[in-house]
Structure 1
Amino acid sequence: MGKNVTRKDIAKEAGVSVSVVSRALNNSGYVDNEKKKRILEIANRVGYMPNPVAMALQQKKTYQLLFFCGDLTGTYYNQMYHGMAREAEKKGYHVLAIMNERDFEMVKKTLADGALFPTESVAQAYAESIGKNYYLPTVTASFDPSAVFAKPMPAVIIDNRKVINTAIDYLWKKGHRKIGMALPFNEGYANLRYRYWKERMMLEIGKEYRKYILDVQGDLEKTETPKNSSQKDFSCEAEGFVYLDLFFIGRRAARMYQASAHKPTAIICFNDDMAFGMMEELKSLGFRVPEDVSVIGIDGLFTRERYEPKLTTMAIYPERQGAECVDVLINVLEGNKYKYMNYSPFKILEGETVKNMASV
């Protein structure tokens, strides 16, 4: 028969209709056992390969999900994507990463059953643009339970207020009262974490909290309102590869700590990558962690195993958050029950970077 064998060719040789061949190959609908056996034998013999686009259109399902991830150079979103991809594979789906997180026109150009977003801000941008008139089931990872979308959208949420308060509770029990926060920029959930830290520290020590802010970009001196920035100020390049370097930002925060007249005894870093950079720079500046200053991160990244001392961090399990996003989306696609508000777990992962001041 040559190449490009079609179902029509198989139907002709088997002496049946094309619809019978389709039912046999798709294993859907009734086909006499002998006819089905003969159809499959012919298909195997002639090397029939179904056209995936045609199959998707016929079945109205692609088993492909889009993830508008933007940047996978950061360990958090890398782990989130791995969680998504592995969970999807277990259920017969695949996740395609779209590296431009605002290229929403891709939903019109790519065969996919649904879309996943890394943050509520990206999800909101989608809902207010393409999502207004283009139906595609969507789920987002979220860091703000109060986020509102143009259309209702299921979310898998990290409750940052609880995360920050748990970190402060932990440090407070260890005897720390001068608890600072190191921030890379004034936007997104960096601003959210700052506001929850400020809210709690205002209750604990009043306006003294201002002495212990390590605001790397300096935006909080101008306004506490988050800005809409692309974060380009912190782009770095290595071997021609451009990436956002939060490790480098952590180093800058350490130098701010060195120059500060009011030094906190413990510092909550915006995330683990920033904490790693801060610890390395503190060492080079002659400060000991945790003897001179305690450091705690937020994320619980696998890379904490590579640093000494081992980082104490608030684990928010990015791979679990990603996997749960996929689970919710597949439940939507397959008509199963699902919730709009799904909270992802978190807990303290103790390491070696927090000094117990209460025992001193």
Structure 2
Amino acid sequence: MTDRVTIVEVAARAGVAISSVSSALNDRPGVSEQTRARIKQAASDLGFVPSVRGRSLSAKRAFTVGLVVHRDPFVLESDPFFGSFIGGLESVLDPRGYALILQMGSAADETLDRYRRLAAGRRVDGVFLNELVVDDPRVALVQQLGLPAVGVNPAPGFPLPAVHQDVSAGVHELVAHLVSLGHRRFAHVAGPSRFVHAVHRVEAWREALVAAGCDPGVLVEADFTYEGGRRAAAELLGGAARDGGAGDGAADRGDRPTAVFCANDLAAIGFMAEADARGVRVPEDVSVAGFDGIELGTYVRPALTTLTTAPRLLGAEAARLLLAAVEGPDAGSAASGVAASSRVRVDEGAVPAVAHADIEPARLLVRASTGPAPR
């Protein structure tokens, strides 16, 4: 095993002072672009790998950021959205030399304690606040801790940098599609009402239906899971299940919805499975649409109509904003393709001004799970 290449050797190879190597490799001012390029080439030729501890001492940063997920681990295991989101974070963090700490919090108090521990001893330079809840206590906590943070799809008036994806336009597209197919009886399988993004989807759905001259219909709260979708289908569809279970008589009352929008694709897939078990055909008897555009939706039969989101871009933008908060406004620019797909705006109501990023809105992807309303 060869000895580790040192910064002294890089300086000697490039013919510069050690301090110049440190400035060049940490992208700090103080060296010309020509010298910076020569130093980086020397480091590459020698196979120099910067010491994280050394970088931390030099820059007074941990070069680590945190993501605490307040979800059941089973949900993370089954929902591909989180993998794409984390991949987007890494696409920006890794080229900048940052590591991501991922922790799970199963209870609200435990989650807050995790943020306190991450902030203690400067373990992380900043954190992501995703899965925001109404009146989320983490916002006040990170402000109290002085910990840079970026929110993901927060409510209006969020006081910290945040990345947003509009869902309203896509939901209006979906409603227009369903109305054009003759549907007039609707239902929404919503996520838990404590989540801000679940509230956004409910509001957009109801606004779109009212704008189309339709009754908002029934709302059933589920939990973004396959089983939650099945339970919602049992409540909405009624009738006897093929496995011998009993429904609630909705089919006999004649008020069963003919079109159902689920707050995510996993719930929609569970809904379709339960519909099939009850002898309710999709889309002949009920049209079903989801949200997220996960790849699994292309494999089920019928293939799932959905609103496609961009979790990878959402993560990349969140990482770019967090590095900007940690290092300065020019940080994170190395992420290719990010700026071209987003729009940065500044909330002038905040003091100091807070930058937010808007990524491309959710869009309708029509597949076979939606069809003409039954006669």
**TM-score relative to the length of structure 2:** 0.69
Taking the aligned partners of 2:211 and 2:189, their CA distance within structure 1 comes to 19
CA contact (8 A) 2:63 2:98 kept: yes
Matched, 1:134 2:139: no
How many correspondences in the alignment? Answer: 308
* 1:185 paired residue number: 192
For residues 179-212 of structure 1, what are the alpha-carbon distances to aligned partners after superposition, in whole Å with 9 as ceiling and x for unaligned?
Answer: 2111343322323322333344345556x54xx4
**TM-score relative to the length of structure 1:** 0.71
TM-aligned CA distance change 1:302 to 1:288, over 3 Å? same
* 1:335 paired residue number: 329
Q: 1:121 is paired with a residue of what secondary structure?
A: coil
Q: CA deviation at 1:350?
A: 1.7
Q: CA deviation at 1:295?
A: 0.1
Q: Determine which of 273, 289, 292 is the counterpart of 1:296.
A: 289
Taking the aligned partners of 1:94 and 1:289, their CA distance within structure 2 comes to 45
Q: CA deviation at 1:254?
A: 1.2
Q: Aligned runs of 1:15-54 on 2, under 5 Å?
A: 24=21, 52-54=52-54
Q: Aligned runs of 1:1-360 on 2, under 5 Å?
A: 24=21, 52-71=52-71, 72-73=76-77, 74-100=79-105, 101-102=111-112, 103-105=114-116, 106-121=118-133, 124-136=136-148, 138-144=149-155, 146=156, 148-149=157-158, 152-188=159-195, 189-202=197-210, 204=212, 208-209=215-216, 212-216=217-221, 246-256=225-235, 257-258=237-238, 259=248, 260=250, 261=253, 262-332=255-325, 333-336=327-330, 339=345, 340-344=355-359, 345-357=361-373
Q: 1:157 is paired with a residue of what secondary structure?
A: strand
CA contact (8 A) 1:123 1:140 kept: no
Taking the aligned partners of 2:203 and 2:131, their CA distance within structure 1 comes to 18
Q: 2:178 is paired with a residue of what secondary structure?
A: helix
CA contact (8 A) 1:178 1:266 kept: yes
CA contact (8 A) 1:297 1:313 kept: yes
* 1:231 paired residue number: none
Identity %: 23
* 1:223 paired residue number: none
Taking the aligned partners of 2:134 and 2:68, their CA distance within structure 1 comes to 8
TM-aligned CA distance change 1:187 to 1:59, over 3 Å? closer
| Stretches of structure 1 lacking an aligned partner (at least 5 in a row) | 15-19, 218-233, 235-244
CA contact (8 A) 1:140 1:156 kept: yes
Taking the aligned partners of 1:51 and 1:266, their CA distance within structure 2 comes to 57
Q: What letter matches 2:204 in structure 1?
A: Y
Taking the aligned partners of 2:162 and 2:218, their CA distance within structure 1 comes to 31
For residues 92-135 of structure 1, what are the alpha-carbon distances to aligned partners after superposition, in whole Å with 9 as ceiling and x for unaligned?
Answer: 43322122243211122453332212134399422212422414
Structure 1 or 2, whichever has the larger Rg, is 1
Taking the aligned partners of 1:251 and 1:123, their CA distance within structure 2 comes to 30
